[in-house]
A and B are shown apart, each in its own frame.
Chain A
């Protein structure tokens, strides 16, 4: 899924500039790391793509959809093609691991048999099939992150947005999560991953886009983590 930001600025009231004059483009199947300090605007940029946030100025086009013009019904259909791994997981505590993933497909109106097959497959893929009947608070941080990824990819989205998917995880678990995400990308899914994890960015090198105070200050292929904006 192609993404294009053209002169995007977002100002939150009263005068907090979250993003400023962003020009940014991605092609189908690309992998991009978004790096930058806390509060630099990474999450806002991701939320612009899901249209949780509407730019004050500029245009965003995702998969050919001009987001400013999309209506409520089409927005719902558009979001079904985007998988999101939230920074705080946002798993539903009163649903089991299986149900947490299944409800994404229920929303799409798939029949129970197909849901069961697809959820089983994806839980096996992320390695928590045996924990499927446990509730999120009963899972470890790594398992919750895997579950969050399972939920994001179960519908086979064209775009995966991952906000700090390896935050608070040790390097070994982070490696496992990264293998998963790279596998998803290799299957053709476009991936944008916001991260603070220097180890991951430097180990699995890809295009790096650095944001500093709402502006893109670096965009390089096969980049490294080191933050230039803070220098």
Chain B
């Protein structure tokens, strides 16, 4: 127990003794974790927008004049990617037309009866499945024609996939960068105490005893950087969301404090893990070298 107390004291001493380096490390860790957090928020928002657009994206399947609507609906529901179907009767279609073009819809009635066909509005589970579903729908004999925003669907699918890949690369790069920064700081601290460590090992210090203060130092620096990054990110994000909502009210941005809280927690855990691993690696490498006899 006393050994842990001495290690904590020495870890703190290391931070204070190299205060310039410590501040620089906290600042760098903060910047890196801020980038990680910001890119995560960006990805989450893009996914939220894409998902909201996906929900609005439907396929309209028009039926042949004497088609059996119930049998067709059953056939559509049996398709693999279909999430939801809604029958639009001829009257409903006319009503929609009226609400869209107003009194001009009366012109349609000049033909004597409602010429609009029955149709189904179909939602799919994922935007990337729209084109495939459309192909399957047209193969149903009762379906005369289909209409959907084909290019929009394809673009959304591409954006969604790109954002996912980009976010993973971004996170890996940022985590590796924070690890390298912390690794180097600890290595500099270790080398600045080279002589001291040599004497410690000569008087019987175990590797764990030698390593612990450096690991504590790295842990404190990493977690402090992540904590500051979380605070800064929270402040910046909510102020940005407030402004964006005024300028672009139709874009659905994430405002859940629970989600941002979870993100802050994730950043702090990430900071703790990365700092522990990188400090252990830095100090272990040195100790192995220092304890190797001639």
Residues of A whose CB lies within 8 Å of any CB of B are 12, 47, 50-54, 72-73, 75-81, 84, 90, 92, 94, 103-104, 106-112, 151, 155
Q: Which residue of A lies closest to B196 (CB)?
A: A92
Partner of A104 from B2, B3, B203 at Cβ < 8 Å? B203
CA distance in complex: A72, B210 (Å): 13
CA distance in complex: A108, B294 (Å): 25
Assess the A103–B293 pair: CB atoms within 8 A. no
Residues from chain A with a CB closer than 8 A to the CB of B3 are 106, 109
Q: A-facing mask of B2-20, CB < 8 A → 1, else 0?
A: 1100100000000001000
Tell me how far the C-beta of A165 lies from the nearest C-beta in chain B, rounded to whole angstroms: 16
Tell me how far the C-beta of A192 lies from the nearest C-beta in chain B, rounded to whole angstroms: 15
Assess the B205–A107 pair: CB atoms within 8 A. yes
CA distance in complex: A12, B230 (Å): 54
Partner of A109 from B2, B196, B207, B294 at Cβ < 8 Å? B2
Residues of B whose CB lies within 8 Å of any CB of A are 2-3, 6, 17, 195-196, 198-207, 209, 291, 293-294
CA distance in complex: A107, B206 (Å): 8
CA distance in complex: A107, B293 (Å): 20
Give the total number of A-B pairs whose CB atoms are below 8 A apart.
63
Residues from chain A with a CB closer than 8 A to the CB of B198 are 90
Assess the A90–B195 pair: CB atoms within 8 A. yes
Tell me how far the C-beta of B212 lies from the nearest C-beta in chain A, rounded to whole angstroms: 11
Residues from chain B with a CB closer than 8 A to the CB of A12 are 294
Residues from chain B with a CB closer than 8 A to the CB of A80 are 203-204
Tell me how far the C-beta of A26 lies from the nearest C-beta in chain B, rounded to whole angstroms: 20
Assess the A51–B293 pair: CB atoms within 8 A. yes
Residues from chain B with a CB closer than 8 A to the CB of A72 are 207, 291
Asked if A53 meets B200 with Cβ closer than 8 Å, knowing A90-B195, A92-B195, the reply is: no
CA distance in complex: A76, B205 (Å): 6
Residues from chain A with a CB closer than 8 A to the CB of B203 are 79-80, 84, 103-104, 107, 151, 155
Asked if A76 meets B201 with Cβ closer than 8 Å, knowing A92-B195, A112-B2, the reply is: yes
CA distance in complex: A104, B196 (Å): 11
CA distance in complex: A112, B6 (Å): 10
Q: Which residue of A lies closest to B288 (CB)?
A: A72
Residues from chain B with a CB closer than 8 A to the CB of A53 are 293-294
Asked if A103 meets B200 with Cβ closer than 8 Å, knowing A12-B294, A53-B293, A53-B294, the reply is: yes
CA distance in complex: A52, B3 (Å): 24
Residues from chain A with a CB closer than 8 A to the CB of B205 are 76, 107
CA distance in complex: A73, B198 (Å): 15
Assess the A76–B293 pair: CB atoms within 8 A. no
Partner of B2 from A50, A84, A103, A111 at Cβ < 8 Å? A111
CA distance in complex: A81, B202 (Å): 11
Assess the B200–A107 pair: CB atoms within 8 A. yes
Residues from chain A with a CB closer than 8 A to the CB of B207 are 72-73, 76
Assess the B204–A79 pair: CB atoms within 8 A. yes
Residues from chain A with a CB closer than 8 A to the CB of B209 are 107, 109
Tell me how far the C-beta of B28 lies from the nearest C-beta in chain A, rounded to whole angstroms: 26
Q: Which residue of B lies closest to A47 (CB)?
A: B294
Residues from chain B with a CB closer than 8 A to the CB of A75 are 291
CA distance in complex: A104, B205 (Å): 8
Q: Which residue of A lies closest to B7 (CB)?
A: A106
Q: Which residue of B lies closest to A78 (CB)?
A: B204
9 new A-B contacts at CB < 8 Å, known A72-B207, A103-B203 = A52-B202, A75-B291, A76-B201, A76-B204, A76-B207, A78-B204, A79-B201, A109-B6, A112-B2
CA distance in complex: A78, B202 (Å): 10
Residues from chain B with a CB closer than 8 A to the CB of A103 are 200, 203
CA distance in complex: A53, B294 (Å): 5
24 A-B pairs within 8 Å (CB atoms) are namely A12-B294, A52-B293, A53-B294, A54-B293, A72-B207, A72-B291, A78-B204, A79-B201, A79-B202, A79-B203, A80-B203, A80-B204, A81-B204, A84-B202, A90-B199, A92-B195, A94-B17, A103-B200, A106-B2, A107-B200, A107-B204, A107-B209, A109-B2, A109-B3
Residues from chain A with a CB closer than 8 A to the CB of B196 are 92
CA distance in complex: A53, B6 (Å): 30
Q: Which residue of B lies closest to A107 (CB)?
A: B205
Q: Which residue of B lies closest to A151 (CB)?
A: B203
Tell me how far the C-beta of B18 lies from the nearest C-beta in chain A, rounded to whole angstroms: 12
